[in-house]
Amino acid sequence: MTGRDHRDLGGPTEKCGVVGVSLDERAAARPLYYALYALQHRGQESAGIVTHDGFQQHSHVEMGLVGDAFGEDDLDQLNGPVGIGHVRYPTAGSVNACCAQPFSVSFKSGSLGLSHNGNLVNADEIRDELAGLGHAFTSDGDTEVIAHDLARNLLEEDLVRAVKRTMSRIHGSYSLTIMHDDTVLGVRDPEGNRPLCIGEVDDGYLLASESAAIDVLDGELVRDVEPGELVILRPDGEGFDAYQLFDRENSAHCFFEHVYFARPDSTIDDQLVYDVRRDLGRALWAESGVDTDVVMPVPDSGRAFASGYADAAGEDGADVEFAEGLMKNRYVGRTFIMPTQDARERAVRLKLNPIKDIVQDRTVTLIDDSIVRGTTSTQLVQLMRDVGAEAVHVRIGAPPIVAPCYMGIDMASREELIAADRTTEEIGEEISADSLEYLSIESVAGALDQSRADLCLGCVTGEYPYDIDGETTDRDVERPTIGSEPAAADD
Amino acid sequence: MTGRDHRDLGGPTEKCGVVGVSLDERAAARPLYYALYALQHRGQESAGIVTHDGFQQHSHVEMGLVGDAFGEDDLDQLNGPVGIGHVRYPTAGSVNACCAQPFSVSFKSGSLGLSHNGNLVNADEIRDELAGLGHAFTSDGDTEVIAHDLARNLLEEDLVRAVKRTMSRIHGSYSLTIMHDDTVLGVRDPEGNRPLCIGEVDDGYLLASESAAIDVLDGELVRDVEPGELVILRPDGEGFDAYQLFDRENSAHCFFEHVYFARPDSTIDDQLVYDVRRDLGRALWAESGVDTDVVMPVPDSGRAFASGYADAAGEDGADVEFAEGLMKNRYVGRTFIMPTQDARERAVRLKLNPIKDIVQDRTVTLIDDSIVRGTTSTQLVQLMRDVGAEAVHVRIGAPPIVAPCYMGIDMASREELIAADRTTEEIGEEISADSLEYLSIESVAGALDQSRADLCLGCVTGEYPYDIDGETTDRDVERPTIGSEPAAADD
Amino acid sequence: MTGRDHRDLGGPTEKCGVVGVSLDERAAARPLYYALYALQHRGQESAGIVTHDGFQQHSHVEMGLVGDAFGEDDLDQLNGPVGIGHVRYPTAGSVNACCAQPFSVSFKSGSLGLSHNGNLVNADEIRDELAGLGHAFTSDGDTEVIAHDLARNLLEEDLVRAVKRTMSRIHGSYSLTIMHDDTVLGVRDPEGNRPLCIGEVDDGYLLASESAAIDVLDGELVRDVEPGELVILRPDGEGFDAYQLFDRENSAHCFFEHVYFARPDSTIDDQLVYDVRRDLGRALWAESGVDTDVVMPVPDSGRAFASGYADAAGEDGADVEFAEGLMKNRYVGRTFIMPTQDARERAVRLKLNPIKDIVQDRTVTLIDDSIVRGTTSTQLVQLMRDVGAEAVHVRIGAPPIVAPCYMGIDMASREELIAADRTTEEIGEEISADSLEYLSIESVAGALDQSRADLCLGCVTGEYPYDIDGETTDRDVERPTIGSEPAAADD
Amino acid sequence: MTGRDHRDLGGPTEKCGVVGVSLDERAAARPLYYALYALQHRGQESAGIVTHDGFQQHSHVEMGLVGDAFGEDDLDQLNGPVGIGHVRYPTAGSVNACCAQPFSVSFKSGSLGLSHNGNLVNADEIRDELAGLGHAFTSDGDTEVIAHDLARNLLEEDLVRAVKRTMSRIHGSYSLTIMHDDTVLGVRDPEGNRPLCIGEVDDGYLLASESAAIDVLDGELVRDVEPGELVILRPDGEGFDAYQLFDRENSAHCFFEHVYFARPDSTIDDQLVYDVRRDLGRALWAESGVDTDVVMPVPDSGRAFASGYADAAGEDGADVEFAEGLMKNRYVGRTFIMPTQDARERAVRLKLNPIKDIVQDRTVTLIDDSIVRGTTSTQLVQLMRDVGAEAVHVRIGAPPIVAPCYMGIDMASREELIAADRTTEEIGEEISADSLEYLSIESVAGALDQSRADLCLGCVTGEYPYDIDGETTDRDVERPTIGSEPAAADD
């Protein structure tokens, strides 16, 4: 239940997972492999691990799923008790092997490996500046820019100061795990846009995008890395040191991590994702509950929402049956041959099959987490009617997506977003639902137990917490200006 | 939600899906492809389609999943409006390409293609008999035996009589789709052990192991093929002819199709699988419900059971929360590298991760459909305790599996079955549960709305509806003796 | 220098190699692998080995080259000291995995494996006859027909008599290695069309299409299998027994084996192929030598011819330089992307590059073994002129190919053969040579030290030693009639 | 006949081919593909092409042979009439995908692509220097160092001056094709160690390691690029401009290119390789001819030598037969499974099979181009004796290899070289030849028509024309000192 494959169904695409580990003596490769495996939902394009044995780096990066990218031999040659890993779905940079991560470079005083989750908004400026100093780049990815900048700073400063200087120059969304020679560190951008957490295992510590990666190693979640914080894992798995390098008044957590991207069993910024989703479902009933014969999740992503919604309905005394009336074919793969054009709209049925007995002659409420282009929703509503539903209501556990994401999530272009220029009522008509309701931003903030000012709501408001060319900046929140970065914590 | 991958988790293995179609003009290849796709849960080892264009057969059979086995070009060359298909997981015969199906042969008066789901108990005798007549076999599979026998009978008789004669000779479990030249037919063994149903689409008719294969073609389920019945699809999609060739007093439906193998959205022998599973869950509460803080399905197969169980508990006024406390990693693949030996028992966590917040300091009831070897159950109970469960109760929606299946399901050998020589109490201790209860056979028969005498209960009673060397025959039910087959319906 | 890749250059295609081995204790798999490797030039489509360990057969057959078809693991599982092998290029039957060999069947009294080189002319009749007895066939290949016929005969007779009966029924070209349970045998058709020889190694004996396969095992060539002879290898590598089952007045050896197919380092029917080719070259000079500045082989197949031609010229006092003026690119592979249509005729240059310094302003004689379609010859003559040749003479070490081969060699259809309806002079004009001469049939027979009546000359005379529908039978030689086979040696 | 696969037989390994092309309108991709195909013998590890369409670079680099690395689609997307290509066998840097070439970088004022053949001796110093300026490197290859240095120089200077400055800093062996934005250029190191030549085709010009790459495009060889020369191809295929940037008194051509690496049909430094090899063979007879029954080349590399040797012998009236007594199996592939250890020495026979009839009871002279480790020679001599040779003499068309190559050819380490610490007589005993003779350095220089001072003879003298740590510099020749480069031609 780690999120349906939205690439197939037209939803937003998941984006990149990072991990870093420092152990006592045990080789880091296998723990990194299992951790990446637990983060596979965050990126399926490529997988990579870079370790260090005290003398040199070892690297293995390949296109494909974790299970396909690594063989026993590959893991065996990745020597050393420290390392970082990455699973990738492309954010910026071209989609090919050269951009798979971790990205490794050697420079004057050593080696650097970087794993990046997020998206910079000023990568081009930094790149131009470095190019002016003679730097040559092999890719057009953000990660190489960060690597070059950090390498240059390390010529003159110690590790903490060099990281701080680089963080003061780059602007945007980033959670990074970095290996400098055999030291593993983690950094979260000052707005804390993407998640990053610290875990403890028997013989060491790790950093990971989500706590589920700690769980599979039988470890304990220590805490989230704070926005603007640098965490350096000590050698031999002997703990970690933390440096609060930047301290902003407001953060800009991506609420969509909770709604959609993250695994339900991960705890992000102190909140269990599964609980948040059930609470969102409960709030959805409270805001716009409708009495129907049956409440039905769109699997797998709508399940927790629907469960909370149905529970709340039951508590209110509504006689609502919760049923799994849409069955998912778990063998949907990349190489599936689509029906010819005229039958394309039936394609959804190959992936989600309605159970006639549950739907026929009944009123139905479909619960999902989001609507992006609207194609899937339209097809699902039609499917319900095809098998005899009397009425079909749709309830969405998040606000309408009205604008693109520039922070690392490839939702769709503004033109493709069904909500970009339609009212909720118009969308409901477009997807032919008897009624459609979204959840309010206030309820989202409430379920997340966060102030609205601490969330990145760009995709549902069109106002962003970062300066983005051609887009409106979120004026309700005071944010520092790029280039005139003064707000570093003292050092 | 079509059944978890029991190969990974130690459960019984799914077995073979068959399909056959006769259309008006449209090429049969794509409909067969989508139908196989919907039956993928019944077999992942190989996939094949054989069509006929009126002049000759076209065949494409390959190892692997449906999506991998066929490309556009492959489908394009499979000409003709009639055809049969197969997805396979090995039952009898060696596991290699030579046994992938449909199995095709040419003989004196034409060609034959066969897709087989089931397992014969007298294949060796028939094979020896045919060998004595000079037949040479290229595989050691049941299907080649049926093909040779049918081909030989077709030298002397018309199609219906030839099929009847072959059916009177072979003994065991079989649902077959057959293509004789360009005629497609379907046969279900006289005991109706494996499912087979008839569907109607806009421009023709089809036969399939499960009705979900009809759904993806936007078709309607017409009815099940009856035990002992032969159904011949007319050319040009113009309907079908049915022949009740054998008429037994009792059938021997596999109850495990409903409990585990079939898709929840399939209707088998007039019953929706999802409803049966929820009813089994309700009966489980009625028989052995226990008050706990939370009821938790083992995903994906335990979900419908747990939902029925929790509903029934709620109706009884029990204050039981239903929660998805075990999260499944949907990227578990074939090439996954297992941890080294000493960490092997933790492997389950890579696939099923417990949510600590839901479990900690609470009493938990885990609901699953079956226990085979007990390894997974032991690991899951331990996982619950690891994350702080106060008590862990286990409830299983089927009776204990005490004996192997000879009808085509590769559960395990008797030595491996945890229930083969243990009482329920002993099993509960073995898996370290605070309590363990199975469902009674009576409740299974009740939920299936079938007489106990009409079910194959071999795996839960050790008494089989077929004569199997070294095993006890089910004496409560009168069954015909192999070899002295008199009970054919008149012809 | 085992023959150029005529598939690329438009020449006849090589056809199938067979091998069989019986050793004392050593596993047969690796010796078979190396032997097939030495026979790779006879077939590149598929490779297979079947062994027997005294209890059961082990088989591994795959598409592709020997080196690609087998891994260490594959060889390790092929247990047992006896086995047979095959490399294949398709003769009859469709080109796909189902027809790869050895072909294995089990029948009443045991198992059979067959490797076949050749082509039957009455396979369809035998197949129909067996089908009438109820046999069902999985392929349309000759080999399955032979296997079924032999299996049937083995029901009633001992091995020698059963083989003899099958040989009296099938008609055409065949060299077979057969494994009946764990007995390996070899058979050569009564006309001895395809080669087969016996070799001895330290710990056993083997049968192979060519003696080069014996060489790579450090063995000694014992002798050729005689036309119509059956050779049974004794168990434990303890020698062999020979049975002269058929004894014809005339054989029908394929002269093209010597001219083109076989390796130069093989000895076939008592003659070293390399020597034969040099003698053919000498005869070519004697018949139609022309004084030129330089004599040049078309590599690799023309090299031995050119060497003999130049030697004979030198002995005659002609001032002729022998030079390798055409350089072959040995990396020509299957996946090479051809130039677009208008540049197609230049494609030969990617494979054979002329050395300008050797050709420019000189008269040149190109020596090759055969001309099939004439495309390559035309391109080569043009290439010579492009780099400045004053005159280009072409000499061919075999007679013109005027008719197709029905004995297992896929030369081309009659329409495609440039010599089918042209005089030598017309062909010379067609390929734009200053002169063109072929070798006479008499010289071929002379170089082979065989009577013309003992050769199959179908492709150069249009008269065949077998009854072929629509073709003329070679009336100069008395041949037995199919179906009324009386000429078996006494048994 | 482009050189045997020495990787299999223990000889020196071929090294890298480069190409660059500027055409009028035609896309450069296919011409580059065919050119690389003609240079495939210089590197089989990876292949790559980078083109430029006036707006941007297009790149496709993959591991494997040219035919496998590129599909039609790959070529189609490589837009633009200019481009460079590379085939690689590793010289320096690790053996993996990251080091495949052309190497591409973008920098301040544009893009650079580089293809490199050769080896720098001061790459580490330049790398360190650039690292000190902040450069970060993604590989440990020479090519990235050259790219960064050139990119840095281009920040301040025009193309010609920037290239000259980089050439004055790097030291060693290099032939480069470079693409700066859409300008293609070629550079040959001041000593002219590796070859590079200019060709003209209908619609443009190209640069290539060997003239055979020009031939396959039906082009004409214009001339060699001179040592120390820069050649810039004009846009639209309108000719080229040449700049003699460095002008040394002596060059340091690699004589081994002529003896072994290059294709026989290539013309290098004004000499046809095939002619040189025949002349070396003639000189070998003159120096150390021995009367034997038969002269036999080790195929394919010894063929031209043996032909010259036999011709010279014939002219001297020696009664020597030239015969191809060793037959090569052309299907030797990468995946071949070697015999187990104790049979390893027989492995050569799988690749080279002796013809007994030619060898038995006769005296034999084996002709080869070089002996590296001596393993193959030992096996071949033994093979000759195994099939009955009375005496086996070995003649080598080059001097003994006594020291490693630092200029880009991976011959072997000094410890592995059989001639490093043995006299010719001792080597003859080691390989068990009745006699062994090498060719003198004087004869090599004579056949190449070059002064000894203009050749790199490091591997046969142990004295190198470059400053190499721990090795002796060739004191007979005045060479400039690294770092104090004054000898640039005026600019």
Cα(B468)–Cα(A357) distance, rounded to whole angstroms?
A: 38
- Report the DSSP pairing between strands C363-368 and A197-201: unpaired
Whether cis (ω within 30° of 0) applies to the bond prior to A102 is: yes
Q: pLDDT value at position C31?
A: 95
Read out DSSP for B257-300? IIIIIS-TT-EETTEEHHHHHHHHHHHHHHHH----SEEEE-TT
What share of chain C has pLDDT > 70, as a percent?
88
**Mean pLDDT across chain B:** 88
Closest CB to B105: pick one of C97, C106, C136: C136
Positions of E strands within B93-196: 103-107, 110-120, 172-180, 183-188
C243-254 pLDDT per residue, tens: 999 999 999 999
What share of chain B has pLDDT > 70, as a percent?
88
Locate the chain D residue with the closest alpha carbon to C272.
D357
- Dmax over CA atoms of chain D, in Å, equals 73
Mean per-residue pLDDT for A239-264? 94
Closest CB to C131: pick one of B107, B140, B147: B107
Q: Between residues C146 and C470, which one has the greater pLDDT?
A: C146
In the annotated binding site of D, the residues are 254, 301, 368-369, 405, 456, 459
pLDDT greater than 80 at residue A14: no
**Residue B203 CA: distances (Å) to CA of B23, B55, B79:** 6, 21, 17
The band of D127, judged by pLDDT with boundaries at 50, 70 and 90, is very high
pLDDT greater than 60 at residue A298: yes
Q: Between residues B81 and B108, which one has the greater pLDDT?
A: B81
Cα(D83)–Cα(C481) distance, rounded to whole angstroms?
A: 67
Locate the chain B residue with the closest alpha carbon to A212.
B353
pLDDT greater than 90 at residue B95: no
Give the torsion sign (CA, C72, C78, C80, C86). negative
Which residues are registered as beta bridge partners of D326? D354
Contact A123, A149 (CB under 8 A): no
Compute the 3-state secondary structure of chain D and give helix, strand, coil in percent, each to the nearest 5.
Answer: 30, 25, 40
A431-452 pLDDT per residue, tens: 999 999 999 999 999 999 999 9
Q: Residue B345 is which amino acid? A: E
Q: pLDDT value at position A145?
A: 94
Q: pLDDT value at position D48?
A: 96
Contact B58, B79 (CB under 8 A): yes
B356-367 pLDDT per residue, tens: 989 999 999 999
Tokens, residue B296: 């938790």
**To which residue do tokens 């214009």 refer?**
D222
pLDDT greater than 90 at residue A371: yes
pLDDT greater than 60 at residue C143: yes
Tokens, residue D62: 């993959």
Contact A49, A93 (CB under 8 A): no
Q: pLDDT value at position B477?
A: 65
Cα(A76)–Cα(A35) distance, rounded to whole angstroms?
A: 17
Known active-site residue A16:
yes
pLDDT greater than 60 at residue A485: no
pLDDT greater than 80 at residue A340: no
Q: pLDDT value at position D349?
A: 80
pLDDT greater than 50 at residue B94: no
Q: Residue C392 is which amino acid? A: V
Which residues are registered as beta bridge partners of D257? none
Instruction: Tell me which residue of D212, D249, D206, D211 sits closest to D227, measured CA to CA.
Output: D249
Instruction: Tell me which residue of B277, B279, B262, B121 sits closest to B196, measured CA to CA.
Output: B262
What share of chain C has pLDDT > 90, as a percent?
71
Query: Which chains lie within 8 Å of chain C at 3 or more CB pairs, if any?
Result: B, D
Nearest-5° Cα angle at A77, A76 to A81: 80
The band of B89, judged by pLDDT with boundaries at 50, 70 and 90, is confident
Highest mean pLDDT among C358-367, C408-417, D98-107: C358-367
Which residues are registered as beta bridge partners of B240? B233
Q: Which pTM was predicted?
A: 0.86
The band of B342, judged by pLDDT with boundaries at 50, 70 and 90, is very low
Read out DSSP for C475-490? TTS--PPTT----BPP
Mean per-residue pLDDT for C409-416? 76
Q: How many CB pairs under 8 A join A and D?
A: 69
**To which residue do tokens 């199975």 refer?**
B438
Q: Give the DSSP H/E element, type plus range, for residue D231.
A: strand D229-233
Q: pLDDT value at position B476?
A: 63
B388: Cβ contacts below 8 Å, ≥ 6 apart: B356, B359, B360, B361
Cα(D302)–Cα(D310) distance, rounded to whole angstroms?
A: 12
Mean per-residue pLDDT for D295-317? 93
pLDDT greater than 60 at residue C480: no
Q: How many CB pairs under 8 A join C and D?
A: 164
D424: Cβ contacts below 8 Å, ≥ 6 apart: D400, D436, D437, D438
**Residue D348 CA: distances (Å) to CA of B237, B467, C453, D429:** 64, 61, 40, 20
Per DSSP, the three-state class of C445 is helix
Q: Between residues B2 and D438, which one has the greater pLDDT?
A: D438
Q: Between residues D57 and B467, which one has the greater pLDDT?
A: D57
Q: Between residues A318 and A347, which one has the greater pLDDT?
A: A318
C297-341 pLDDT per residue, tens: 999 889 999 999 999 998 998 888 899 999 988 776 545 566 655
**Mean pLDDT across chain C:** 88
- Report the DSSP pairing between strands B46-52 and D220-224: unpaired
Closest CB to D134: pick one of A103, A137, A151: A151
Cα(C270)–Cα(C247) distance, rounded to whole angstroms?
A: 19
Q: pLDDT value at position D338?
A: 62
Angle between helices A303-315 and A273-288 (to 10 degrees): 50
Contact B229, B262 (CB under 8 A): no
Mean per-residue pLDDT for C453-469? 91
Mean per-residue pLDDT for B403-423? 85
pLDDT greater than 90 at residue C444: yes
pLDDT greater than 50 at residue D255: yes
Contact B190, B152 (CB under 8 A): no
pLDDT greater than 90 at residue B350: no
D317: Cβ contacts below 8 Å, ≥ 6 apart: none
Cα(D292)–Cα(D322) distance, rounded to whole angstroms?
A: 10
Which residues in chain A have their CB less than 8 angstroms from residue D137's CB?
105-107
Rg over alpha carbons for chain A, rounded to the nearest Å, is 23
A121: alpha, beta or left? (left if phi > 0; alpha if psi -120 to 50): alpha
Q: pLDDT value at position B90?
A: 63
A311: closest CA of chain B, how far (Å): 9
Cα(B354)–Cα(B338) distance, rounded to whole angstroms?
A: 19
Which residues in chain C have their CB less than 8 angstroms from residue B103's CB?
138
| φ, ψ dihedrals at B26, nearest 5° | -60, 140
B160-214 pLDDT per residue, tens: 999 999 999 999 999 999 999 999 999 999 999 999 999 999 999 999 999 999 9
Q: pLDDT value at position D300?
A: 86
**Residue C284 CA: distances (Å) to CA of A476, C274, C367, C397:** 97, 15, 10, 6
Q: pLDDT value at position B466?
A: 86
CB contact (8 A) between residue A135 and residue D134: yes
Asked if residue A270 belongs to a known ligand binding site, the reply is no
Closest CB to D335: pick one of C67, C272, C358: C67
Contact A209, A36 (CB under 8 A): no
Q: pLDDT value at position D95?
A: 38
pLDDT greater than 70 at residue A486: no
**Residue B221 CA: distances (Å) to CA of A357, B201, B270, B399:** 12, 9, 10, 30
C174: closest CA of chain D, how far (Å): 25
Mean per-residue pLDDT for C77-103? 76
Which of these ranges, A124-128, B464-468, D360-364, has the smallest mean pLDDT?
B464-468
A139-175 pLDDT per residue, tens: 888 999 999 999 999 999 999 999 999 999 999 999 9
Cα(C354)–Cα(C223) distance, rounded to whole angstroms?
A: 42
C180 burial (CB, 10 Å; 0-12 / 13-18 / 19+) is: buried
Query: Which chains lie within 8 Å of chain B at 3 or more CB pairs, if any?
Result: A, C
CB contact (8 A) between residue C339 and residue D30: yes
Instruction: Tell me which residue of B266, B281, B257 sits closest to B457, measured CA to CA.
Output: B257
Which residues in chain A have their CB less than 8 angstroms from residue B41's CB?
329-331
Q: pLDDT value at position A468?
A: 85
Cα(D180)–Cα(D175) distance, rounded to whole angstroms?
A: 16
The band of B489, judged by pLDDT with boundaries at 50, 70 and 90, is very low
D25-59 pLDDT per residue, tens: 999 999 999 999 999 999 888 999 999 999 999 99
Do chain C and A touch: 3 or more Cβ pairs under 8 angstroms?
Answer: no
Question: Which domains, from first to last, does chain B contain?
Answer: 6-248 (3.60.20.10), 273-446 (3.40.50.2020)
Mean per-residue pLDDT for A221-241? 97
The band of B44, judged by pLDDT with boundaries at 50, 70 and 90, is confident
End-to-end CA distance of chain C: 43
pLDDT greater than 80 at residue D489: no
C342-369 pLDDT per residue, tens: 455 557 788 899 999 899 999 999 999 9
Locate the chain D residue with the closest alpha carbon to A98.
D98
Cα(D377)–Cα(D428) distance, rounded to whole angstroms?
A: 10
**Residue D264 CA: distances (Å) to CA of C300, D200, D298:** 15, 21, 15
Locate the chain C residue with the closest alpha carbon to D310.
C322
Whether cis (ω within 30° of 0) applies to the bond prior to B354 is: no
- Dmax over CA atoms of chain C, in Å, equals 73
Mean per-residue pLDDT for A440-469? 93
Q: pLDDT value at position C338?
A: 62
Chosen for mutation from B73, B135, B181 (greatest number of chain C CBs closer than 10 Å) is B135
Rg over alpha carbons for chain B, rounded to the nearest Å, is 23
Contact A197, A8 (CB under 8 A): no
